[in-house]
Amino acid sequence: MTTAVRVRGLTKRYGDVQAVGGIDLDIRAGEVFAILGPNGAGKSTTVEILEGYRTRDTGEVSVLGIDPDKPTREWRSRLGIVLQTADDVAEATVRETVRHFAGYYPDAKDPDEVIEQVGLTDKAGKRIRQLSGGQRRRVDVALGVIGNPELLFLDEPTTGFDPEARRQFWELIGGLAHNGTTIVLTTHYLDEAEALADRVAVVAGGLIVAEGEPKTLGGRATAKAKVSWFDEGERRSLETDTPTRTVLELTRRFDGEVPELTVTRPSLEDVYLQLIEAPA
Amino acid sequence: MGDQPHPASPIPPIQRRPTPRGDRPVSETVTRTPAPPLRTRQPSATQLGLSRAAIETRMFFREKDAVIFTFSFPIVLLVIFGSIFAGDLEGTGLTVSQLYVASLIGSAAMTGFQNLGINIAGDRDDGTLKRLRGTPLPPGSYFVGKALNTLFISFLQVVILLAIGVTMFGLELPSEAGRWVTFAWVFVLGVLGSSLLGIAVSSLPRSAKSASAVISMPFVVLQFISGVFIPISELPSWLVNIASVFPLKWMCQGFRSVFLGDAGATLEIAKSYELDRVALVLGAWVIGGLVLCLMTFRWKSRRDG
């Protein structure tokens, strides 16, 4: 398995603010990697350094084997970038725009197929100005993938989406991942990371505070479970590695129904909130 | 958190929410990485420049309000000035309106300054530049597209001004080939120089919103001091000296030589059209403008740092 992105000791400072304070990352080719973190945590700065939009202060960065500080046309043609916000090409139609951008790449996909893939076939003749926010975002994705990229960056792609649009968008991204595109995604939404990502990194205060699969992040899978019940007029609880056994013992003790029994493990959100509060 | 199941509820059957990942294999050793495609032949930069020019021009003509005002502005000025000052010019056999046609053509050739200054500030603000910089489009192709788009729009403006000049104000089109050669080089150097200047000043406004105020003001001032609205011979010499630094005065002078001919040369301050100096100053602006652009051009908006 080859490495798509390799980062060692990355730092970036804006004036007095240390935006990125020494980040290491390895993103494997073909995986969906999510970078989570609150606003101002340094995730956009990190991603923009990987995309070649910003220069770094120190550290080593290799993206598809190239240093993004020395971008080449050939390297750019292997990347796809979906930016956070854009209101450009408003007067061109969807089809004109996708076709025009296809001309930039040596190995572009078929524009009509890409328009179909992002679900805009019936809007292909419409001017981009006339599209809804979600449809506009689909155009952004179409322009991100038209060059048949090996690596696709998605910066907070579903911000402002309604739940249905978000679910459709996930299907779209899932389909791309299935075809082997490496995807680097930044997001605020934990459910989005959980649904899409093979691995996630949580960034806070310019550092990676946790990294792993969503289901095991921050020791989530192995964390003690909390078993809680009602007994002798008060709420009791027990943190345990073996909640099933505890429940079984309680069942015997109460000879049947355990009053107000709950068993909980930390949700991704619990883990995340703990992680991002720690360094502050 | 906060989603504790009700104690009395039955254990639900094991159910996994279908994820968008679908049937994607979960293991790490999957074979879903295809062989990297061959990226041998990059599209030609010239072709991409033409392609940029085509889409820019198409988008320009779709913004109907901008189109109407861009083209009607010099026409309205010509009709107003040409109608107000209908007299003759001190024994040259020329009319004041002919003088205005020539000068307004100079002004039309400089609209690239204003259009590009505002337009690129907009591209910087609305994400066009950022998006393009993330693609393999060579930066030069973007500028070629802007330059061709500007040449085309300026050319249309000039054609319209000439048509009105001929039909309404008795302008005579020159018959000698030499004067048309002069027209061609003054036009091309003038449009290029002022476009490069426009690209350079597009980095000045803080945002697209302030761009039209920031960029229109110097353009209007330049038109007043360069002999577009007021004959250059009536301006105080210190104003003429300032105007002489910028290309517009020389463009107007060049166009007067084309459309007024030898009879009008006596109206010039130097009693001659000084075409060698016109070429020199406009050429210097093309080179200087290019250097200025390379030194000052910002791909990012201020918001992007």
CB contact under 8 A, B59 and A78: no
Residue among B1, B24, B38 minimizing CB distance to A107: B38
Give me the residues of chain B with pLDDT under 70, please: 1-40, 89-91, 302-305
Question: Nearest Cβ partner of B126 from A28, A78, A86?
Answer: A86
Q: Does the distance separating the beta carbons of B42 and A74 come in below 8 Å? A: yes
Render pLDDT for A148-172 as a digit per residue (tens, 0 to 9): 999 999 988 887 777 887 888 888 8
B-contacting residues in A 79-118 (Cβ below 8 Å): 79, 81, 83, 85-92, 96-97, 100-101, 103-107
Nearest to B136 among A32, A73, A85 (CB): A73
User: Mean per-residue pLDDT for A248-277?
Assistant: 86
Bridge partners for A226 per DSSP: A239, A264
Which residues in B lie closer than 8 A to residue A1 (C-beta atoms)? 28-29, 33
- Residue A104 and residue B19: Cβ atoms within 8 Å? no
Partner residue opposite B7 with nearest CB, options A53, A86, A260: A260
DSSP chain B: ---PPPTTSPPPPP--PPPTTTT---STT----PPPPP---PPPHHHHHHHHHHHHHHHHHH-HHHHHHHHHHHHHHHHHHHHH--SEETTTTEEHHHHHHHHHHHHHHTHHHHHHHHHHHHHHHTTHHHHHHTSS--HHHHHHHHHHHHHHHHHHHHHHHHHHHHHHH-PPPP-SHHHHHHHHHHHHHHHHHHHHHHHHHTTSSSSHHHHHHHHHHHHHHHHHHTTSSS-GGGS-HHHHHHHHHSHHHHHHHHHHHHHT-GGGGGGSTTSS--HHHHHHHHHHHHHHHHHHHHHH--SS-GGG-
pLDDT above 50 for A56: yes
Cβ of residue A174 closer than 8 Å to a chain B Cβ = yes
Rounded to whole angstroms, the Cα distance separating A73 from B133 reads: 10
- Distance from B287 to chain A by nearest Cα, in Å? 27
Mutate to test the interface with A, among B9, B39, B123, B303 (most CBs of A within 10 A): B39
Highest averaged pLDDT of the listed ranges A48-52, A254-258, B84-88 = A48-52
Taking only the tens place, the pLDDT of each residue in A79-106 is 999 987 777 778 899 999 999 999 999 9
**Alpha carbon distance B198, B120 (integer Å):** 9
| Pick among A3, A20, A27, A88 to test the B interface (most B CBs inside 10 A) | A88
**Cβ-nearest to B59 among A76, A92, A104:** A92
What is the DSSP pairing of strand A207-212 with strand A79-82? Answer: unpaired
Task: Closest CB to A1: pick one of B28, B42, B58.
Answer: B28
- Residues from chain A contacting residue B29 (CB–CB below 8 Å): 1
Q: What is the pLDDT of residue B305?
A: 53
Q: What per-residue confidence (pLDDT) applies to B273?
A: 85
Asked whether the beta carbons of residue A76 and residue B134 sit closer than 8 angstroms, the reply is yes
Provide the shortest C-alpha distance from residue A104 to chain B (in Å): 6
Please give the residue of chain B at the shortest CA–CA distance from A272: B1
Nearest to B108 by CA among B65, B80, B140, B76: B76
- pLDDT of A41: 85
Determine the pLDDT at residue B40: 63
Does A180 contact B32 at a Cβ distance shorter than 8 Å? yes
Tokens of A236: 């009791």
Chain B residues touching residue A260 (CB < 8 angstroms): 7
Give Rg (Cα) of chain A: 23
Report the alpha-carbon distance of residue B173 to residue A248 in Å, rounded. 103
Q: Rounded CA gap, B11 and B126, in Å?
A: 53
Say whether the ipTM exceeds 0.90.
no
**Among A28, A73, A154, A269, which would you mutate to test the B interface (most chain B Cβ atoms within 10 Å of its Cβ)?**
A73
pLDDT at A1: 57
Q: How far apart are CA A195 and CA B30, in angstroms?
A: 19
In degrees and rounded to multiples of 5, residue A6 shows phi and psi of -130, 125
Q: How far apart are CA B137 and CA B133, in angstroms?
A: 7
